[in-house]
Amino acid sequence: MRDLQKMENPGLYIHIPFCRRKCTYCAFYSVASFDRNKEDAYLQALAAEAAWFSSHYFQGRRVSLGSLYIGGGTPSLLPVGFYARLLERLAEVFDISSCREVTFEANPEHLEPDYLRDLWKYTPVRRLSIGIQSFRDEDLQKLNRCHTGQEAEKAIENARRAGFSNLSADLIYGLWGEEGAAPWAENLARLASLDLPHFSAYALSLEPKTVLWRRVEQGKAKMASDEEIEREYRYLQAFAKEHGFLHYEISNLAKPGFEAIHNSNYWRNVPYIGLGASAHSYIGDERSWNTGRLGDYLQDAVGTKEREILDEADHYHEYVMTALRTIQGVEKARLAGFREDLQREFRQRVAVEISVGNIVETEMSYVMAEDRRLLTDLVAEHFF
């Protein structure tokens, strides 16, 4: 196994699977019926799993974290007191004070002044990622979201009044197969008026077994065409330049200095620990993931964990796949650390991608051409 002592401080991800109701497009693990009686049991399971990671990977020593991200599901569905108690328990095995960033995912309908005040006062959370998805009420209704566009704007106002300045919003483009970019332009215009330092923009994707997938199968809904997706992505790129956003990853945009540390570490292959039902972890040469069944997780937080060992080729392929998504690209210095046969394999493949205009070589790295960034995942597959 790779020397854990020489690795960067790992990130910690905590998955909160509870939701008020399921969004039509969502394929992430969540439980669309919230039982408050499960709060304490879930907290105990998270604490037990944290202790297992400490003993299994770090000889029982207290682990200094680089970042902490609380995601879901809908974390803001649980009271702030849950997180104050949870983080107090986790502090027994993790040094949270070392985190450069602590992020909390929240839905707009929960971000009332009292909740935000307590979140600031009783937890180390200083960055909010707000699941807005769209400011247009007709979109939100189709997505089965629980808030309105006006409530989304009010949530941002409330967050700022509570002291939060490091704010991010999630938006979705390519909705409903509409012709023309007017709805997407409207969403971005409303985003610009709020002057957020970071946002994520994702194309609506059709995930098997979701409500949206069934509606499309039944002919009750349609997806945007590839041409429309490309048109809206081009609009996003132009918007980013006009408003001073660094498009630092294919789906993430930030004002300088506000890039997401936790997510950026995923793309840099920094180790991370995942706690909670369905959470994934990546430490040294080992990847592990938890059961997606809440009842099983509550019964035995680590007993249903599955694991696999990664070899050098696995690390190489994962690095290329994630690095191509970023503006840093595949760094030549990082490539030099892999076996010669893997470096040779990369040079042969990248020459082809350069020749067709998909990748550009710079002095330090290989990056996706700006006008081909939507093809990133497809191009990355060519390196496997």
Structural domain includes residue 287: no
Structural domain includes residue 109: yes
Q: Are residues 258 and 122 in the same domain?
A: yes
Q: Are residues 65 and 139 in the same domain?
A: yes
Q: Are residues 106 and 215 in the same domain?
A: yes
Q: Are residues 147 and 222 in the same domain?
A: yes
- Where a domain ends, among 226, 241, 267? 267
Structural domain includes residue 350: yes
Q: Are residues 176 and 93 in the same domain?
A: yes
Q: Are residues 337 and 229 in the same domain?
A: no
Structural domain includes residue 43: yes
pLDDT profile of the chain (384 residues), mean per 10: 64 93 76 77 96 93 96 94 97 96 97 98 98 94 92 98 98 76 90 98 87 84 88 96 97 98 93 96 95 92 93 95 96 96 97 98 97 94 91
Q: What is the pLDDT of residue 180?
A: 54
Residue 214's domain spans which residues? Answer: 7-267
Q: Are residues 250 and 335 in the same domain?
A: no
Q: Are residues 260 and 143 in the same domain?
A: yes
Q: Are residues 186 and 106 in the same domain?
A: yes
> Per the structure block, which two tokens stand in for 44?
């105990």
For the stretch 293-301, contacts whose Cβ atoms lie closer than 8 Å and that sit 24 or more positions apart, written own/partner, are 294/17, 294/31, 294/38, 297/45, 298/38, 298/41, 298/42, 298/45, 301/45, 301/46, 301/48, 301/49, 301/52
CATH for 185:
3.80.30.20
- Where a domain ends, among 228, 243, 267? 267
Q: What is the pLDDT of residue 31?
A: 77
Structural domain includes residue 317: no
Q: Are residues 253 and 349 in the same domain?
A: no
Q: What is the pLDDT of residue 32?
A: 74
Residues in the chain: 384
